[in-house]
Amino acid sequence: MLSYSKISPELYRDAMARYAGHVQIATADHDGIKRGVTVTAACSVSDNPATVLVCVAKGNAANRTFVEAGAFALNTLAARHQPLADVFSGLVPMDPDKRFEQGVWDKMETGAPTLADAAVVYDCKLVEAKDVATHMVLFGEVQAIRLGESAPALIYLNRSYHTV
């Protein structure tokens, strides 16, 4: 067993790679400009009111779309959505405008793009955006939920996909 007292960004990323995360696509639409990004840094904050958070890189100017839109959706992926996760993560080279041509997208309450066959969709009104180090933490009050079919979940662990 190894322990470290000096925490470099590389060491931290290596440690976080051992932290399993459910794969989701965070989406927003502001004045016809759609943004979607594959994330694992998302979780529940509260059940009353229903609130979630998601972290996106603040160094990517395109992620300002989440703040400008004032709303976002968390689209929770099932195992069958792995190709879509690759598209929205940038692993599959594709113009960001073309990403939403993959999968079937619709809208719920807030107008954020929602994946029609997602395992779960949390459609959220942005209530706070907070810069923390390299990321923006977006807090969203859930305005609508859609439960898809129950299916094996897509998880990211040790820098690869797994299903549960």
* Per-residue pLDDT tens digits for 27-46: 999 999 999 999 999 999 99
Domain 26-163 sits in CATH 2.30.110.10: yes
- Tell me the pTM: 0.94
Strands 24-30 and 21-22: unpaired
User: 130 with 124: CB under 8 angstroms?
Assistant: no
pLDDT for 5 equals 84
User: 105 with 113: CB under 8 angstroms?
Assistant: yes
Work out the average pLDDT over 83-103.
94
In total, the chain counts a number of residues equal to: 164
The dihedral formed by the CA atoms of 147, 58, 62 and 44, expressed in degrees to the nearest 10: 10
Sheet of strand 42-47, all strands in order from the earlier edge strand to the far edge: 33-39, 24-30, 71-76, 120-132, 135-147, 50-57, 42-47
Domain assignments of the chain as residue spans, ordered by start? 26-163
Work out the average pLDDT over 81-103.
94
Q: Within a 10 A sphere around the Cβ of 55, how many other Cβ atoms?
A: 18
